[in-house]
Structure 1
Amino acid sequence: MQNLCEYATTCPDPLDTRYWVYVQRVQVDTRTDPDTTTVLQDWQRQPGDVCLGPEEVAEPGIGEVVNAVQTGFTRKRPAEPQLVIQPNPTALVNVDTGFSAGTGEPVQLTDTVLGFPIAITATPERWLWDFGDGTTLATSSPGRAGTREVSHRYTRVGDYAVTVAVEWSGTFTVGGFAQVFPIEGVAVVPVAAPGQVQVREARTELVDQ
């Protein structure tokens, strides 16, 4: 059967678009961050061309890039959250202690995958708190310093190690392509080191006037 895409000046389907095919050979070392890419053969146009519809991936080879970004999102991820505890370092039994972990704003990340420049938009979705006394909490907000938007009330005197991890979702674009690709799953980024809380009792003292 004759390949109509190869010989016709337009695609058989009027909604399809004709593309030239270019191939670049690269060697990628994924043990480094970011990946180390060595070009083995520069871009070369291949014989013929292809017709692709609007629902298909725009260029040959982009599928491999998309898969690589999907699987690598947990490695190329946002920075650790910055945990703030108030009051700090001493809190009181049965009094709310406030916590915050940065902002809830998206962040922009860049990377190079299989020779393609990648722009990632990472959006924080949930903050997973562990207050160190057996109590955990999931919030849709990072809390705000100076408030009790995220708070916990300790019921016993003691020293507690507090941690928080952020769940990030993401989308990304590939240099030279207009399509925005969603990233499946989430990247979980924990705080670099636990925050320490010393919980003490408030004492009332009588003072002679």
Structure 2
Amino acid sequence: MVGRLDDRRSRPGRDADNVNAARERPALRTILFTSILVLVGIIVASPSSAGDKPIFGGELSDDAAHISAGRSEELARRNLVVPPEERLVDYERAPYCREAAGMWVKGFADGSCPDGADLARTSVQCEEGDTLVMPMWRHERATPTSPWGPWDDIDPGGCGVDLLPVLTEADFRRLPLPAPVLTMQPDRGWVLINIETIVYTDPTPVTLRTDLLGIGVTVEATPTRWTYDFGDGHDLVTRNPGQPHPDHDVFHEYESPGTTTITLTAEWTGRYQIDGSPIWRDINGTATTTATTAPFTIEERTSRLVSGLCTDKPKPPDC
């Protein structure tokens, strides 16, 4: 679910990713979260200032573009299906290290730096329970027998949650969210003009399961806003789920006789949790579901005096 971004570095073998991707086999559908969060607690190494660029095998050009941590992680995962001896591209997460001469160099995968080099400081702050992730580096070769080129950093690292797949608004809308509960009072097939027709719903959240890129996901969806279409040209938008009689506070009074229905549209917001991660993430967007009552009539009733009880048998003619 991570959007595709292009790595615009100008270097030999820039199509190597495509070569490797063509060799992919349908495997590795599951990913251990612990392997994604490389080295819990390691400080993410990044340059201490925007103008102090890291250098390894040559200075980064001004138009060099980092891709997102999630995108680089996706590329690294795809690369794993290619045997090491056949790979034209390789990836590794390692810190930025600064040598005494002021040169930025790639550190080691265990989070340490070469002798005489210091680990870079970081300004990244992650949510409680999340971990810091080191920058991603990549090097390439033209053929499986060619020597490897220099390491280039392709993402600056971040937080473990940045490497997880994202549940998008489109994904959320594809989930089997239930129709809202729509209750009306009275519910007897007819209502009266100028008398309150009561409506209410159930605001209880629902929990669903799905998967993203083969990783299990728990989704919690909550209805937060409701729109009632009363079928007579009047709508009501509310965040109040309403209550039944006699504590009702959401209702409508019809003004003319006829036959109609009431349609309720619920707007859902959501959050999700990736299996293996303690972090709940908000879904950027909403989804809607609807429910409609059976048709009913709107009737006008008038009162008048009668000589007897209308329940008498035979019924009095003036009833």
Q: Is the 8 A contact 2:225 2:239 kept in 1?
A: yes
1:136 and 1:59 mapped to 2: Cα distance? 41
The offset of 1:111, in angstroms, is: 1.1
Deviations 1:87-111 (A, max 9, x none): 122111111110112x222222211
Root-mean-square deviation (Å)? 2.6
Match of 1:153 in 2: 253
User: Which residue is equivalent to 1:9?
Assistant: 112
Residue 202 of structure 1: SS of its match in structure 2? coil
* Counterpart selection for 1:120 from 198, 208, 219: 219
Q: Tell me what 2:231 maps to.
A: 132
Task: Give the conservation status (yes or no) of the 8 Å contact 2:132–2:160.
Answer: no
Gap change, CA 1:69 and 1:77, over 3 Å in 2: farther
Q: Quick one: which of 104, 108, 111 aligns to 2:203?
A: 104
User: What is the CA distance between 1:163 and its match in structure 2?
Assistant: 0.1
Whole-angstrom distance in 2 between the partners of 1:125 and 1:169: 7
Task: State yes or no: 1:199 paired with 2:302.
Answer: no
Percent of residue pairs identical: 26
Provide structure 2 residue ranges, at least 5 long, that are not aligned to the other structure: 1-55, 57-104, 114-118, 125-130, 137-154, 309-319
| Structure number, greater radius of gyration | 2
SS of equivalent to 1:72: helix
- For residues 1-209 of structure 1, the aligned pairs below 5 Å read 1=56, 2-6=105-109, 8-9=111-112, 12-13=120-121, 17=132, 52-53=157-158, 56-58=159-161, 60=163, 62=164, 65-66=165-166, 68-88=167-187, 89-101=189-201, 103-147=202-246, 148-191=248-291, 193-209=292-308
Pair 1:58–1:85, CA change in 2 (3 A): closer
Residues 196 and 142 (structure 1), Cα distance of their counterparts in 2 relative to 1, 3 Å cut: farther
Q: Hey, what does 2:42 align to over in structure 1? A: none
Looking at structure 2, the residues matched to 138 and 77 of structure 1 have their Cα atoms a distance apart, in angstroms, of 23
Inter-CA distance 195–109: structure 2 relative to 1 (3 Å threshold) = same
How many equivalent pairs are there? 172
Q: Deviations over 1:96-152 (max 9, x none)?
A: 110112x22222221122111111121211100100000001011222233432100
Cα distance change on mapping 1:87 and 1:133 into 2, 3 Å: same
CA contact (8 A) 1:120 1:170 kept: yes
Structure 1 pair 207/122, CA: closer, same or farther in 2 (3 Å)? same
Moved over 6 A (4+): none
Q: Which runs of 5+ in 1 are unaligned?
A: 22-49
Letter in 2 for 1:164: L
**What SS does the aligned partner of 1:74 have?**
helix
Residue 99 of structure 2 aligns with which residue?
none
Report deviation, 1:179. Answer: 2.0
Question: CA separation in 1, counterparts of 2:111 and 2:251?
Answer: 67
Contact 2:169 2:287 in 1 (8 A): no
1:201 Cα deviation (Å)? 1.1
Distance change >3 Å, CA 109–CA 197, structure 1 → 2: same
Indicate how the Cα distance of structure 1 residues 207 and 7 shifts in structure 2: closer, same or farther if over 3 A, else same.
closer
TM-score using structure 2 length: 0.48
In structure 1, distance between residues paired with 2:179 and 2:215:
26
- Greater strand proportion: 1
Change (3 A) 1:156 1:18: closer
* TM-score using structure 1 length: 0.71
